[in-house]
């Protein structure tokens, strides 16, 4: 690879962790080293930049991490970085290390932070989308999403075994604070009978009529509920189902943070590696304030200001597929 004019960059992981972040860090570091760029990692997101908690990232430091969940740089949501004072402290660290560029791996909150930093500091900044929720514009898949939905499908397969043995209905709650994309894909992939998503209003009423119409024809039932759904979560949904359909034997399973951990899937590792590689190439070519996504297998560059949560944009066909196949 040709040598770059930028000499030194910083990198953080920020916001909720997601499997594949390590693969992305590794790709950034190794692409930089191949072009004679030094890399400094800061711990715990923007907090590490404020407090100058750093590590020189050599090739050895990123050996044997591609398969590991979590992030070797640790992560945090930093209230201090939301203040001017915090941003100025971070700028002091950037100056001290003479950084020309910066890579932020995180979600839309992390990119908002990067934008705020760019208003006060001329450094080149790019981002890689890291969140299990897949709720960002500008990429087909965020880092962590594929692993999370596979974790959910694996868990629901196991729940199905016990549900089938006892003729039970399980309400399974999955993550997705504002978006139902984890619920949608994992519901289709696990053969769930129904799902509740924040993007669909009043779907609880139709769930009840659906349950009443199919409750005697099948032994087990799985209803996937996104945590951000207006129904208020799996426990409330299960209570309401019990009230409306007292003959059903209903159980709840809240999958929680197991969805954020675990070894990234192969697809995840490859996507995260591509994003990390293209992040460095983007810095070298002079790009700034963009998120690097992958759309139709090609790198896509979305300005930070547009790389926001995309809510209410579920493909109608995907919703219909579950309704058709889950019956
Ligand atoms: O944004 C990712 C996510 O996993 C959401 O799905 C979830 O609501 C949230 O983070 C939980 O965050 P934490 O427990 O880390 O505060």
Pocket residue to mutate for ligand 1, from 21, 44, 177, most atoms within 8 A of Cβ: 177
Q: Is the pLDDT of residue 35 over 70?
A: yes
Whether the Cβ atoms of residue 102 and residue 125 lie closer than 8 Å to each other: yes
Q: Is the pLDDT of residue 320 over 90?
A: no
CA of 120 to the centre of ligand 1 (A): 29
For the record, the structure tokens of 55 come out as 């590590």
Taking alpha carbons only, the member of 1, 3, 2, 9 closest to residue 288 is 9
CB of residue 131 inside a 6 A radius of ligand 1: yes
Among protein residues, the one with the nearest Cα to ligand 1's atom 8 is 177
Q: Can 154 be counted among the known catalytic residues?
A: no
Whether the Cβ atoms of residue 40 and residue 74 lie closer than 8 Å to each other: no
For 97-106, letters b (16+ CB in 10 Å) and e give bebbbbbbbb
pLDDT range class, residue 326, cuts 50, 70, 90: confident
CB of residue 133 inside a 6 A radius of ligand 1: yes
SS3 206: helix
CB of residue 106 inside a 6 A radius of ligand 1: no
CB of residue 129 inside a 6 A radius of ligand 1: no
- At 304-317, the pLDDT tens digits run 999 887 765 677 88
How far is the C-alpha of 327 from the C-alpha of 325, rounded, in Å?
A: 6
Whether the Cβ atoms of residue 300 and residue 293 lie closer than 8 Å to each other: yes
How far is the C-alpha of 138 from the C-alpha of 166, rounded, in Å?
A: 44
Please report which helix (H) or strand (E) contains residue 49, including its range: helix 46-51
- At 14-26, the pLDDT tens digits run 999 999 999 999 9
- At 285-306, the pLDDT tens digits run 999 999 999 999 999 999 999 9
Catalytic member of 17, 108, 133, 229: 133
Report pTM: 0.95
Whether the Cβ atoms of residue 16 and residue 132 lie closer than 8 Å to each other: yes
């Amino acid at each position: 690879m040709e040598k770059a004019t930028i000499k030194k960059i910083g990198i953080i992981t920020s916001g909720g962790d997601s499997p594949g972040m390590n693969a992305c860090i590794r790709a950034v570091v190794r692409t930089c080293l191949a072009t004679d760029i030094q890399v400094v990692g800061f711990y715990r997101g923007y907090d590490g930049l404020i407090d100058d908690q750093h590590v020189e990232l050599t090739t050895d430091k990123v050996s044997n991490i591609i398969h590991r969940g979590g992030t070797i740089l640790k992560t945090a949501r930093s209230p201090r970085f939301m203040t001017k004072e915090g941003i100025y402290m971070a700028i002091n660290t950037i100056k001290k290390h003479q950084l020309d560029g910066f890579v932020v791996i995180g979600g839309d909150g992390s990119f908002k932070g990067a934008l705020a930093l760019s208003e006060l500091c001329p450094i080149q900044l790019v981002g890689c989308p890291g969140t299990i929720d897949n709720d960002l514009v500008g990429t087909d898949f965020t880092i962590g999403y594929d692993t999370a939905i596979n974790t959910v499908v694996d868990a629901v397969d196991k729940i199905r075994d016990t549900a089938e043995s006892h003729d039970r209905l399980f309400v399974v709650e999955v993550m997705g604070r504002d978006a139902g994309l984890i619920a949608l894909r994992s519901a289709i992939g696990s053969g769930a009978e129904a799902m509740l998503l924040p993007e669909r209003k009043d779907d609880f009423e139709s769930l009840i009529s659906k349950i009443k119409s199919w409750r005697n024809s099948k032994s087990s039932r799985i209803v996937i509920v996104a945590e951000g759904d207006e129904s208020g979560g799996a426990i409330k949904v299960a209570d309401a189902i019990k009230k409306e359909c007292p003959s059903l034997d209903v159980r709840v399973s809240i999958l929680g943070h197991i969805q954020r951990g675990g070894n990234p899937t192969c697809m995840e590792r490859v996507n995260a590696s591509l994003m990390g590689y293209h992040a460095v190439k983007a810095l070298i070519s002079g790009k700034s304030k963009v998120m690097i996504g992958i759309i139709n297998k090609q790198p896509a560059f979305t300005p930070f200001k547009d790389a926001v949560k995309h809510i209410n944009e579920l493909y109608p066909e995907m919703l219909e597929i579950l309704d058709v196949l889950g019956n």
